[in-house]
Each structure stands twice: as structure tokens, then as C-alpha cells.
Amino acid sequence: MKEQNFKKKILLVHPLGYKSDKASKDISRIANITPPLGIASICAYLLQRQINCDIIDCYAHPDADTKIVKYLETDKPDFIGFSCSTSTFHDGVRLAQMAKSILPDIKVVFGGAHVSALKESIIEKFEHIDYVVAGEGEQTLTELIKADHNDILQIESIVFRDITGKALFTGYRKKLLDLDSLPFPAYEKLEGYPEKYKLPIFNYPKTPNSSCISSRGCPYSCSYCDRSVFKRSFRYNSAQYLYEHFKYLNKHFGIKHVNFYDDQFTFNKKRVIQFCDLMVAGNLKMSFNCAARAEHLDLELVLAMKAAGCWMISLGVETGDENLLAQHRQNADLQMLRDKIILIKKAKIRVKALLMMGLPGETKESILKSKKYVYSLPIDDFNLAKFTPFPGSPIYQQIKDGAVLGTFQENWKKMDCMDFVFIPNGMEKETMDKLFIDFYRSHFMRHKVLFGYFSMIWKSPDSWKRFMKNSVRFLTFAFTNKRL
């Protein structure tokens, strides 16, 4: 493949997903603004290879349309890339059309889970998109930017139009990156970092805080999880890399708390204990959260994590109906889950339960059973999402192919786990909405829950400031399920 000049430039964009005038009222955005780590990692990789790269994060800056227009007019990048979820995809298309109207010759690239799952159909249906990066983006985008058009077929993991207009996929990349070889994400390219970015309220003790990703992929095959980007691969950074990452965030940005945005942070016990040992020896005085599967946890591990500054562990409970859970994931053992939550609490680490409502097979009885189970657990916080069948998840095609499992309204703009776009057989949307509201309302009305949140005045004072500032919107969502 011929190497072109290294002066080419790309603008990477993280779309908002809806009109900017709604951003100040969107409860999901008020509660959590996470750095777009995927494009920040890609940007760092491109910069390391002498490709000019900048980032505009519309989620952190909802008025970013004007920023994008100004950048296109003044910097005239050769490429513009969009990292989109399902719900933000159409906003990305809108911005791509705007970019083409300003710079007709600019090349538009889309990446992320949504387009990785749909591949050729994206190129076929959306004329303003020139390329789709299917899967991991760093190498593929680098090769695309440096390539002659005639070299495109040699680039793995690309979808594009051939000379006849037909969409072609070059096949998945055979050799994946060693994650320890990657530079740290280009946090400095995120305007306003770290102050503009906030973890969910009551999910951190101190500010400024941030997120990082220490692994890619997942070895499990739950029905509801997207598999389009990393397939069945699973790789992770070494303990030393993680420790150096923490030191970097602390030294350059003053970060005091980090959320590991991994699906399986504790999968390799040896790695986590080595990381914890480094944190204790280095005395960074930083804390962290992570997500874990219950079967990976034991007393030795949670005690090591506590000593290293682990503040909270999130566990995927999903549902308190064991029969329903067994239909969608491995190791559906609710007693084991309970035992591990008690173990975490004994180590004086906070526990957050992650749940879904509306999985295929869900009934009113299973929801009530789930509510009873969750309320019996000694958890500190919980998040209840509305099940959404994303393209790339094993259950998606089954749901899309017919009404055997329920009714599905495939409205991409609403597919953000905040709306019931899928209704299981035997259920009605109105009933689902009422049960969802009741689940949240009942949770917040319990005395021990209220006491736990009040105690956060001392444990997470910044969370309480944010809560009081937006209390009407938080309580409106909790008691009426209205987002805006």
C-alpha cells in the first residue's frame, strides 16, 4: 500500500442525537457525561502516526454545530469521522450532510457498534457516507487516510462503494492490536476536559473524575449484548499499563477518581491484584469503580480492590426472575449473586445493581419477582434500563424477523434504553411504563435508600450539589418516567 503525505487531517465527531435545545433538560445527559473514549483513543493513535486529528464532542457541547461549521470552513479536513450509537446515528447523518454541503470532496467515515453490525446496508441506504469502519478503528482508519483510492480493497474491516455503486465489505481484520501498544486516549483534544465530564451522581467520591477502558470484547454470549465490534475476542491491558494510565490522568489532569468502563474488569484475577498492588505501593490517593461478573469475585480479590481504592462495584443482575435470566445469560444463579453482593459489602465497597426490564419472556409476574429480589439485596444504588434489541446482539435478528417474541418498533432515535421499543408477548406498553415507574418510585420511597442517599452528603458532596441543582428533573424522571 502506498503511503501518502502525512499532512492529511480528520475531524472526529461524537453526535448529540437530538436537537441541542433539549440538552439542558435531558435527564440522562444531566446525570452522566462520559468522555468519548473510542474516538479519543483513535485520535491518539492517528496523532502518533503524524496524522492531524481533532475532536468535537457534541454531547459535551450541545451547541457544537457552529463549531463544526467553523472547523470545516477554516481547517478544511480531508476526512470527517463519526462515532455513533444506534440512537445518535441519524444525527450523525445530518452532520455528514452538512459537512458535504460545505466541503463536497470531504470523505465521510462512520464507525461504532451500530454501523459495524449493519455494514453494507449503511452504505446502501445513506449516500453521504463514503466508508464504514467495521470493528476496531485505530489501524483501519489510519490505513484508510493514508491510502490511494485504488488501495481500499487491501484495507481490512472497511465497507465502501465500488465503481458500480455496490457496497463491498473487505472482511474483518485478522490480527488485532496489542492494547499495551496503544497511546493513552487524547484527552487533551476534548474541549473542557475534565470539568465538562461527570460520572453518574452518587457514583464517585471526588472530582475531577473520568473514565477509562482497560479491555476490549467479552468472552460471554449474553443475548442482549452487542457483538459487532470485537466479536468473541477478549483482550486487556496489563496491570502496569493501567497503573501508568492512572498516573498520567492524575499528573496531567488532576483526576482523583476513575470509572473502568469495561464489561469484564475482574475477568483476570491476577491482573487486577497486580494492579491493586501497584496502586497501594504508588500511593496515588486515587479511587475507582468497575463492573464485574459475580462469579469472578472472591474475598481475596475484593479485599485487594478495597485496599487499592475501589469505591464501587457494579454487577449485572438484569432480572430477579431466575428462569427469565437463564434464557438470556450463563450462570443464572441469583443465590450466588446475593452471596457475592454480601461479600462486597463486607469489604466496605459500595454495590450498584444493573437491571433491565422488558427482556423477551418478561411478564408482569417476573417484574414483580425482580422487584422483590432487588429490594431484598443490600445494594447501595441501582440502574434500571429498558431492554433494547440493538443490531449486533444475538437476540436482535430473532426479534426483527417476526412477532414470535413480541412487537418491535425499530425507531433508531428511541433506541437508547430509555424507551420501550420492544414489548414482550402478553404485555402492553402502558403496563410496562407503569411498572417501570413503580419500580423506581418504590425504590426511592424506602427508608434505608433515603438514608443511604443522605449519607452521600459527606461521601460524595459534588453529587449532592448536582442533585440539588437538578432535583426537579431527577425526581420527575423517578416518579413519572418523563425525560425532558
Residue 484 vs residue 378, higher pLDDT: 378
CA-to-CA distance for 416 and 129, rounded, in angstroms? 22
pLDDT digits (tens, 9 = 90+) for 66-100: 999 999 999 999 999 999 999 999 999 999 999 99
pLDDT at 3 over 50: no
Residues contacting 407, CB < 8 A, separation 6+: 422, 423
Q: Quickly state the pLDDT bin for 34 (edges 50, 70, 90).
A: very high
pLDDT reported for residue 231: 65
Q: Quickly state the pLDDT bin for 4 (edges 50, 70, 90).
A: very low
pLDDT at 454 over 70: yes
CA neighbor of 78 nearest in space, from 48, 55, 99: 99
pLDDT reported for residue 230: 66
Residues contacting 214, CB < 8 A, separation 6+: 179, 236, 237, 241, 242, 245, 260, 262, 265
Reported pTM: 0.93
Residue 458 vs residue 254, higher pLDDT: 254
> Which listed CATH number (3.80.30.20, 3.40.50.1980, 3.40.50.12280, 1.10.290.10) goes with 199-480?
3.80.30.20
Q: Quickly state the pLDDT bin for 482 (edges 50, 70, 90).
A: low
pLDDT reported for residue 483: 54
pLDDT at 1 over 60: no
pLDDT at 170 over 80: yes
CA-to-CA distance for 448 and 462, rounded, in angstroms? 21
Q: Quickly state the pLDDT bin for 241 (edges 50, 70, 90).
A: very high
pLDDT digits (tens, 9 = 90+) for 356-380: 999 999 999 999 999 999 999 999 9
pLDDT digits (tens, 9 = 90+) for 330-359: 778 999 999 999 999 999 999 999 999 999
Q: Which residues of the chain does CATH 3.40.50.280 include?
A: 9-169
CB of 344 within 8 A of CB of 312? no
Average pLDDT, integer, range 418-428: 95
Average pLDDT, integer, range 232-244: 92
Average pLDDT, integer, range 473-479: 70
pLDDT reported for residue 6: 55
pLDDT reported for residue 200: 92
C-alpha cell at 180: 499495551
Residues contacting 340, CB < 8 A, separation 6+: 294, 295, 297, 315
SS (H, E, C) 242-307: HHHHHHHHHHHHCCCEEEECCCCCCCCHHHHHHHHHHHHHHCCCCEEEEEECHHHCCHHHHHHHHH
pLDDT digits (tens, 9 = 90+) for 283-329: 999 999 999 999 999 999 999 999 999 999 999 999 999 999 999 98
pLDDT reported for residue 424: 95
User: According to CATH, what is the number of the domain 9-169?
Assistant: 3.40.50.280
As separate numbers, helices (DSSP H) first and strands (DSSP E) second, the chain gives 18, 17
CB of 269 within 8 A of CB of 296? yes
Handedness of CA 296, 34, 203, 448 (dihedral sign): negative
R_g of the chain computed on alpha carbons: 22
pLDDT digits (tens, 9 = 90+) for 188-200: 999 999 999 999 9
pLDDT at 5 over 60: no
CA-to-CA distance for 321 and 327, rounded, in angstroms? 10
Average pLDDT, integer, range 106-125: 96
Q: Which residues of the chain does CATH 3.80.30.20 include?
A: 199-480
pLDDT reported for residue 2: 45
Q: Quickly state the pLDDT bin for 15 (edges 50, 70, 90).
A: very high
Q: Quickly state the pLDDT bin for 481 (edges 50, 70, 90).
A: low
Residue 404 vs residue 351, higher pLDDT: 351
Is the bond preceding 208 in cis, omega lying within 30 degrees of 0?
yes
Percent of the chain with pLDDT over 90: 75
